[in-house]
Structure 1
C-alpha cells in the first residue's frame, strides 16, 4: 500500500515536462493507479524511473519496451487512455 507521502511523490514524478507523457501519466495516476494491484503499482513506479525519450518511444509505438513487466504496464495505460 502506498502511503500518502509516497503517492504524492509518485504523482510529482508523473510531471515529466513532455506534454505527450504528461497527458498520459497525470490522468492515469489520478484515476487508474488505485485500481492496480500492489505489484502493478510497483511496476508503474519503476516505469516512472525510465528516461523520457524511452518512455516517449514506447508510448508512441516507435519502439518496444525491452522489459516485459514494463511493456505490460505501457499497454495497460494506453488501453485506459483509449477507452
Structure 2
C-alpha cells in the first residue's frame, strides 16, 4: 500500500533529512514514525534504528578497554610480530 502525503513542507523536510543523513526518504519516514510510535505508546514491530544503535553504543562503551595491569601494546596482545605477521 502506498501512502500519499500532499504537503510540500513535509516533503521538503523529509528530503532535507534524507540528504543530510545519506539515506532514502522512505527510511527517514519509517524511522520518524517508529520514534513517534514509541513516544505515543503505540506498539511497533521494532525500535527505531537510532535507538538500537544508541543501545549498542552504550553496550560497547561499557566494555573495559584493557586490564589496567596489562602493559602490552595492542599489537603484542594480538600477537603481531615485527613485520605485522604472527
Whether these two folds match at TM > 0.5 is no
TM-score (norm 2): 0.24
Structure having the higher helix fraction is 1
TM-score (norm 1): 0.25
Asked which structure has the greater CA Rg, the reply is 2
Structure possessing the higher relative contact order (Cα contacts under 8 Å, 6 or more residues apart): 1
